[in-house]
Amino acid sequence: MKKPVLLLLIFASFVNLNLSGQKIFTSADVFTEKKMVWYGLDFSRCKFIGQPSIHGNFYKTPDYVVKHFFKDWNMIPLKEGQKYDIGKAFDKEYIYFDIDSVLARGQRYKSDSLIAFSNVYALNTSTFPNIIKSFNGIATEGIGVIYLVESYNSIEELATYYCIVFDVATKNILLQEKITGRPQGGSVKTYWAGAFHEALEKNEKVYRKWKKGAMIK
């Protein structure tokens, strides 16, 4: 009867040793690590505001956006990595794409909630820690980053994102910044993809600002 208990204690000790050996990252590590996990564009709380002529009957079929464009916009950095360069935006040599979580969350989005009937819409930043804790990707440790999409505003012609950098193991948020981008393109897909491209370009400046604030050369 004692043998199973002994085996259980050995297993528990092994798990504890494994966890204790897991590196916990801090905000300073963001600037020294050469690897990063990209979790993608999280549309699970976004709203679309206004309707430019380029979108035609777009808002009559929001379910198509949820089923197709949420995925398409997330696939762009994989298909057009030189133009949408995540590594350059964060000064990293290696980027690991772990976007399955955001793709799954996007497909669960209720399309009838996509359109905002007010131009005033903002995410509550106090909810961000719980949002990050809900992510379960393939990576078990390292530094992760996600773009939490707040809104695609066609009235102001502006996309608003929250860039959130976090420790993958603990899900602790290390850095975050609100970043915007101006849309450009000839279709709904390319229109907002253009906004993401500009946001990534701005991200380089944000990263340098973070690094300067951390007093790291």
Q: Is 47 exposed, middle or buried (0-12, 13-18, 19+ CB in 10 A)?
A: buried
**139 vs 14, residue with greater confidence:** 139
What pLDDT does 203 receive? 98
Complete DSSP assignment for 91-149: T-SEEEE--HHHHHHHHTS-GGGSEESSS-----GGGHHHHHHT---S--SSEEEEEEE
Buried b (16+ CB within 10 A) or exposed e, 143-170: bbbbbbbbbbbbeeebbbbbbbbbbbbe
For residue 189, the one-letter residue type is K
Please answer whether residues 99 and 38 qualify as being in contact, where contact means their C-beta atoms are separated by less than 8 angstroms.
yes
- Give the pLDDT band of residue 115 (cuts 50, 70, 90): confident
Report percent pLDDT > 70 for the chain.
86
What pLDDT does 23 receive? 85
Show Cβ contacts of residue 144 under 8 Å, excluding neighbours closer than 6 positions: 36, 37, 38, 39, 98, 135, 137, 165, 166, 167, 168
What pLDDT does 188 receive? 79
- Statement: residue 8 has pLDDT above 60: no
What pLDDT does 58 receive? 56
What pLDDT does 1 receive? 43
Element (H, E) at 160: strand 158-167
Complete DSSP assignment for 40-72: EEE-TT-EEE---GGGTTGGG-HHHIIIIIHHH
What pLDDT does 51 receive? 66
Please state whether 109 falls in left (phi above 0), alpha (psi between -120 and 50) or beta.
beta
Minimum mean pLDDT among 47-56, 105-114, 179-188: which range? Answer: 47-56
What pLDDT does 60 receive? 57
Per DSSP, what are the bridge partners of residue 165? 145, 175
- Statement: residue 204 has pLDDT above 80: yes
pTM confidence score: 0.86
What is the average per-residue pLDDT within 159-172?
Answer: 97
Q: Using the 8-state DSSP alphabet, how is residue 174 labeled? A: E
The predicted-structure confidence for 20-45, as pLDDT tens digits, reads as follows 467 889 999 999 999 999 999 999 99
Nearest-angstrom CA–CA distance, 164 and 128: 9
Token reading at 28:
């300073």
Report percent pLDDT > 90 for the chain.
64
